[in-house]
Amino acid sequence: MRDPSPELIDALAAEYAVGTLRGPARRRFERWIRARSDVAARVRRWEDRLVGLLAGVATVRPSPRVWREIELRTSTRVRTGETVGARPSVRPMRFLALAATLAALVFGVSLYLADARRTWELAAEIAAPQATAPAWSIEIDRRADELRVRAMNAPALAADREHELWALVDGAAAPVSLGLLPQAGEARLTLGPAQRTALARASKVAVSLEPRGGSPTGAPTGPVLFVADVRPPRHSST
């Protein structure tokens, strides 16, 4: 049997950590964990990620009506809609909490794996003249439906202002908004059909200073602070 690819190991490690890898596949993967340190390390990394996700799951206290429904449906004896001689069990609630947490984790893992399969390439670096580092790095997904924006040295902003990104379409009278830029960290800008078309036809992008929430007119209303070249894609979109 060929050695599994790193992508397959990562996907199996995620399923193993969440608990959705079952039966012979789980037993085979456990043999890999014992035999290969890289597989065991990948599982540990996924377990660390999932612990972090659990920390963000808030506890929700069911309403009295929900508690009554749970007691009725889990009671061993029911007569005329009232529970007789049965004590409410905490096991169903534990099961429901575990199921909800597991569903959240599976959803988070699926999003992570889907994002890992994306192919990103640099579309533009936005910087002031003579700057030592770009203010933002703009990457585009190969499917051209999303931008990944990283704030690296973004200029300071007043509390009531934001930076907005625009595609400067060759031959068009007006630029097309691509979304608001982050001040720090990373953001994703989902592109609609009109935005994808505009970016494909654009040779440059620009950043303007706008009110909180972005331009109210659909066109730049504040000063244009940056203009940068759009890098031609290395791929052909499908």
Using the predicted structure, report yes or no on whether residue 27 has a pLDDT greater than 70: yes
Residue 178's closest CA among 150, 155, 158, 206? 206
- Percentage of the chain surpassing pLDDT 90? 26
**pLDDT at res. 83:** 45
pLDDT per residue over 154-198, tens digit each?
Answer: 999 999 999 999 999 887 778 999 999 999 988 888 888 889 899
Q: Is 114 helix (H, G, I), strand (E, B) or coil?
A: helix
**pLDDT at res. 84:** 45
Q: Rounded CA gap, 30 and 228, in Å?
A: 50
Using the predicted structure, report yes or no on whether residue 224 has a pLDDT greater than 90: yes
Q: CB-based contacts of 38: which residues, under 8 Å, 6+ apart? A: 9
- Ordered by where they begin, the domains of the chain are 1-117 (no CATH), 120-229 (2.60.40)
pLDDT per residue over 57-105, tens digit each?
Answer: 556 666 777 777 776 766 544 444 444 444 444 555 555 555 555 555 5
| Contact of 57 with 104, CB cutoff 8 Å | yes
Strand partners, 114: none
| Tokens representing residue 118 in the block | 């994306």
**pLDDT at res. 130:** 76
Q: Rounded CA gap, 36 and 25, in Å?
A: 16
Phi, then psi, of 196 in degrees rounded to 5: -65, -45
- Percentage of the chain surpassing pLDDT 70? 71
Which of 57-61, 90-94, 116-120, 222-226 has the lowest average pLDDT? 90-94
pTM beyond 0.75: the answer is no
Residue 17's closest CA among 34, 30, 3? 30
237 vs 66: which has the higher pLDDT:
66
